[in-house]
Structure 1
Amino acid sequence: MFKVIERLLGDKIATEKISLTGSERFRGKITGSCPENLREECAKACPVGAFQVTADAQGYAVDYKKCLFCGKCVEKAMGSLQHSSDEALPVITEDAAEVTAEVIKQKLGRSLHVRHLDAGSCNACDFEMGAMSNPIYDLHRYGVHVDASPRHADLLMVTGVVTRNLEQALRMSYEAMPEPRLVMACGACAAGGETYGASYAIVGAADKVVPVDIYIPGCPPRPSAMIAGLLAAADMLAERM
């Protein structure tokens, strides 16, 4: 917090260019070649079943919608697998994010309106979402506006695994949105639904209740990944209008 205040007082503007590459300690995409004798151990170590053994040349696949980026599979691989510092967003690049920011102004002709729905999160994703509006990430420079009502929203941003108590709220929020409408599952709970396992109180991932257009992996995702997803959503919305 003090660093932000120092930047504001010293530079006046603290806003930074959105980057999909994290620090050296950031756990992003998993890279490397996992030895055949360790693949089953890596799969067993994954608490959400995101690491899967395959029959192709690579020998493994990672379902990033479920992945918690906990590093357990990397530990079992004994140095043959590594976490890169790149976000696990294969469709979205930094160049695309920059281009899509212009789409909001040029194609939509207005701001992108977002309705956030917490379907049962631990609030980690929600805290990171709040950071999008701070002077560092400055979400509003892209023309993205958060609405209080789904009736005014273009995109429904869902966080948390869907609980049975909020299943109806999610469905009703989606039905209240005008066409064309989009849904973003933000974080491992909403995207993969495996974080808390099976329970009488849990429905699961958001796509079990409503159709999902964009998945943002992470536990929780970084604000920059969320913003990149929102910019990609603006591009998708422009194509549907």
Structure 2
Amino acid sequence: MTMPRQDTAFQGLGDSRSSVRLKAALAVGTTPDPRFVDGLVERCAVEPDFYVRDMLTWALTRHPASMTVPKLVEELRSERAQARSQALHTLSKIGDRGAWPAITRELLTDADDEVARSAWRTAVVLVPDDEKPGLATVLATQFGRGERETQVSLSRALVALGEVIVPALRAAMTDPDPRVRQHAIATERLSRDPEAGFEYAIGEAKRIMALGPTSQEAHGEEALGSAGQEVLGSEGREG
């Protein structure tokens, strides 16, 4: 008896060659089949190739959210960092706001940078308007974390939230930790001019900090006084 084409394609996800796995994920997504949802989610947790993982995410978005979202939410409790990160990434692509309660503080502050970055991006997509201030407060606890890539992700997530970030920025710009202050100042610069880029924003932050506390306080008052209007204009554009 000949195996159905979808079944053959699905089996290809376990092939040792990434090119075969990529084609298999494409085939499964092209012809969605509810039987494969569990397997797609499981494969996301272990797939080593970035492009195949991205195709797996696409394949999952081709299936009904009612089937995929509960499975992905379960993965957020996995001990495997890649499982949590990829589930978050896929939830952000699906965009079902019913998954918002699953984006916990634990995920937003996850010890694994990739998981945390995925959580920040997903949270910004799913957060209800009335919970944006609380999200901004949690994200602000991560100022100064990690290397450039991680800091860029956090700044972009905060800027995307709009004017609700002002109180959190104000507090962080006077934090005793210089890494926190620098990152917060750079984020404020991005909120006013996203097209300037993160390197420029960090450079400006270093310059302001080098001038001393008085300059930082003056800059903070001037910048945040008008941030309510300016940060709104920055939404949707990333530096």
Scaled to the shorter chain, the TM-score interval is under 0.3
Rg larger in structure:
2
Q: Comparing both structures, which one devotes a greater share of its residues to helix?
A: 2
Q: Comparing both structures, which one devotes a greater share of its residues to strand?
A: 1
